[in-house]
Amino acid sequence: MIQFVIFMGKPGSGKGTQAQYFSKHGWIHLSTGDLFRRHLAEKTPLGKQVQEFVENGNLVPDELTFALVEDFLKSVDQNANIVFDGYPRSKRQAELLDSWSKKTGSKCLGAIEFCLSDESAMERLLNRYYCPVCGYVSNKPGFCVNDGTPLVKRIDDNVEVIQKRVRDYDSYGAELRAYYRNKGIYVAVDAGKEPEEISAFLERIMLKNGLR
Ligand code: ADP
């Protein structure tokens, strides 16, 4: 049975960093943003379809995004533990994931929101570098610690597009918060803390809920 945790939070809130940490402990890290960027870089038909959305910070349509997620889920070990990073981003996406979950007998263990001020998010994103090969993220330019690839800036990490992504999160984040609160599986984390402190907090939650 696949078991999964949802990481939600505005861009720059550190979901990806924590998901990378969990992937070192055997969790599969599913970042829809990374998957889309890979398609863009490889100029696949899907990449061409989503290019305008991703570069302008607009959400890719729900059904298209879910098709990508479903494909990914079919390809993994059916007993895996998965961290969802950046999915779902609408109530419709959450519902599609729920139906998939029911259909396949998978289980959502929790929805964790990384809470951060808009100012901190902006500051972090303007100083963010990423590895186009594996998705590794750093706040300094240089080379990827995993594969030595030169780190680059993301095309959508510019002031205008960041402001739009952060604003959009206010609306879809509220919708998702209500959705998962209603299911009784919502947990908030202070994303302004140091990454190690957040990992330790998440580990405690996971342990308490029998997730590790
Ligand atoms: P962010 O730093 O904004 O959290 P991501 O890497 O998660 O960035 O996503 C980058 C872009 O990929 C988004 O702005 C959007 O265009 C697209 N995207 C990623 N996940 C989704 C999703 N669940 N639904 C729709 N579009 C998505």
In the three-class reduction of DSSP (H, G, I as helix; E, B as strand; rest coil), residue 104 is classed as helix
| pLDDT of 209 | 66
The tokens for 174 are 């509220």
Query: Ligand 1: distance of its center to the CA of 51 in Å?
Result: 11
Ligand 1 pocket, residue 58 CB under 6 Å? yes
Query: In angstroms, rounded to a whole number, what is the distance separating the alpha carbons of residues 147 and 152?
Result: 14
The overall average pLDDT reported for the chain is 93
Least Cα distance to 113 among 4, 5, 1 occurs for 5
Structure confidence by residue, pLDDT tens digits, 143-164: 999 999 999 999 999 999 999 9
Residue range 3-208 forms a domain whose CATH class is alpha beta
Counted residue by residue, the chain has a size of: 212
For 123, how many CA atoms within 13 A lie in the half-sphere containing its CB?
6
For the chain, give every domain's residue range.
3-208
Give the Å distance between the CA of 88 and the centre of ligand 1: 10
Specify the pLDDT at position 210: 62
Q: Which two tokens stand for residue 131?
A: 């590895």
Q: Whose CA is nearest to atom 5 of ligand 1?
A: 33
With a cut of 70, list the residues of the chain below it in pLDDT.
209-212
**Contact between 13 and 115 (Cβ < 8 Å):** yes
Q: Which atom of ligand 1 is nearest to the CA of 87?
A: 23
Single pTM value for the model: 0.92
Which among 7, 32, 37, 93 is the best mutation to test ligand 1's pocket, defined by most ligand atoms within 8 Å of the CB?
32
DSSP for 137-152?
A: EESSSSB-TTT-PBPB
